[in-house]
Structure 1
Amino acid sequence: MRPPAVPDRREPWIPGGLVGDACPKSHDGWIRVLPALPEDWHEGSFHALRARGGIQVDATWTDQTVEYTLRCSKPTEITLNVLGTDMGRVALSPDKPFKGTIRR
């Protein structure tokens, strides 16, 4: 049996659950971009995180907006949710990234 994970106190520590909750989630044809972005994360970004189906997700946010881009290697259709707002069904194409902006 392995001992429980203990953060290395020499490194800044961020609870894994908090970071994981803010990252994209994907299942059953849904992709949720920043489903639980903490209010005190005033700005930030991530690039090339992978969702199910090989879809690449990028996002950049400020206090006012979230900009996101989805890329895929084969045509696919998903249901998109950004910051808890349902964006509906989205057709993704490998030759054209899907980009959007939403107010925060």
Structure 2
Amino acid sequence: MSEHEEPEGYDGEVTVLVEGEPARRTRAVLGARFDPLAGSVVWTGRIALAVPARTRLQVTTPHGSGLAEARESDPWGNTRVTGVDRPPFPVELLDGAAEA
């Protein structure tokens, strides 16, 4: 993927699990890109739930699960999240490397 291409991502239903709470289904828009400063693929996005900042959560899509941290809430009740491990959706950069 070049710098000028759209990041890979996922837009759809997810299940969000916060420790000590029941799992909740909601909508999310998530994207992944290679960050040359970090030297790895990073993923971020928004989930349609209000979650306190710095809360760790598990985001599950039909493709898999990934851990994330809540960053901030917006006035519409969405929460921005940043992934802390592999994205919970296919990413060609990662999946292609695993097949090589």
TM-score by length of 1: 0.29
TM-score by length of 2: 0.30
Higher-Rg structure is 1
